[in-house]
Amino acid sequence: MAHFTQLQLLTELEPVAGKELDRHLSAAKEWMPHEYVPWTEGSNFDGPLGGVPWSPEQSKVSTTARTALVVNLLTEDNLPSYHREIYQSFSADGAWGTWVGRWTAEEGRHATAIRDYLLTTRAVDPVALERERMVHMTQGFETSYQPDMLHTVAYVSFQELATRISHRNTGRYTEDPFCDQLLARIAVDENLHMVFYRNLLNAALEIAPDQTVQAIWDVVEGFQMPGSTIEGFTRRSLAIALAGIYDLRIHHDEVLSPVLKYWKLFELEGLSAGAEQARLKLAAFMADLDLKATRFEQKRAAQQARLAERLG
């Protein structure tokens, strides 16, 4: 089968990007981030305004909820880095350029809304948050794969879904109905983003199946959450996994599997030997991930049982 250059793929897929952009624009409902923030709960901080400094007892959410909220916000904060990646691997022309702009504008709303919410309700330490934002954004985001269009679209198909679930579950976990409401609204956006990328990659599978299957495997194998370069991410993601907000089971069952199923990846016929090889590795990877997810669930259940015993 012919090997497509990036430019050929971008040209071939531009009408699909256009169709998906139109679908997105008619499905996306305008929403106002300021309407989700309980402004009357806010008060001045110390510094130039001479208000009250933050202290942990002001926060109504648990330590683990704070961890998840901070990771989610820092991830959204790093938007300029993702914008660079997407802009460079797509094109500024036609539907590609319009999508990149629109997607960036929608994502920009997420960090704004979450930050307004967290600072107004004093849910997290604003000084630590700002310092972390500086470090995280300075460092930027690095992909584990070749940042061309196919790899980028494969990555964001999974990543948008992962982010959607992470926001949704974090909202529930806070037990704060306003926070839950805001994160649920953001999750709706992330879902529409996932649909755009997933459908685009579906079209790529028809045009260039071998290259696309290879890109999917590369991305699944090296998948890291976009916030994985946040300081202490390993420790924090363990807390997030123990809380059931995002863990291997969710990654396997609710992120990778449904998208692979949508693409009918394991039903594709006529792949090249190389792509077939990549698909076999992907199948083995999924089986192994399933095992690891089960082992983690068992460990977590045992830990929780021990804890309950100690407390009881």
The residues binding Fe ion (CB under 5 A) are 107, 110, 160, 190, 193
Could you tell me the smallest distance in angstroms from the CB atom of residue 73 to Fe ion? 10
| Residue 152 CA: distances (Å) to CA of 32, 180, 200, 223, 280 | 29, 30, 11, 12, 22
List of residues 6+ apart from 149 with CB closer than 8 A? 6, 9, 10, 13, 89, 90
Q: Tokens 């460092």 appear where?
A: 139
Could you tell me the smallest distance in angstroms from the CB atom of residue 76 to Fe ion? 5
Round to whole Å and give the CA distance between 37 and 179.
Answer: 9
3-state secondary structure of 35: helix
Is residue 151 within 8 A of residue 218, CB to CB? The reply is yes
Phi, psi of 258 (to 5 degrees): -65, -35
Round to whole Å and give the CA distance between 241 and 230.
Answer: 16
Is residue 102 within 8 A of residue 22, CB to CB? The reply is no
Could you tell me the smallest distance in angstroms from the CB atom of residue 163 to Fe ion? 6
114 versus 275: smaller Cβ distance to Fe ion: 114
Could you tell me the smallest distance in angstroms from the CB atom of residue 58 to Fe ion? 26
190 versus 247: smaller Cβ distance to Fe ion: 190
Could you tell me the smallest distance in angstroms from the CB atom of residue 283 to Fe ion? 28
110 versus 236: smaller Cβ distance to Fe ion: 110
4 versus 103: smaller Cβ distance to Fe ion: 103
3-state secondary structure of 127: helix
Could you tell me the smallest distance in angstroms from the CB atom of residue 82 to Fe ion? 9
114 versus 243: smaller Cβ distance to Fe ion: 114
Cα 31 off chain centre by: 20
186 versus 282: smaller Cβ distance to Fe ion: 186
149 versus 278: smaller Cβ distance to Fe ion: 149
Could you tell me the smallest distance in angstroms from the CB atom of residue 167 to Fe ion? 8
Of 227, 170, 204, which is closest to residue 14 (Cα–Cα)? 204
Round to whole Å and give the CA distance between 145 and 41.
Answer: 44
Round to whole Å and give the CA distance between 209 and 65.
Answer: 41
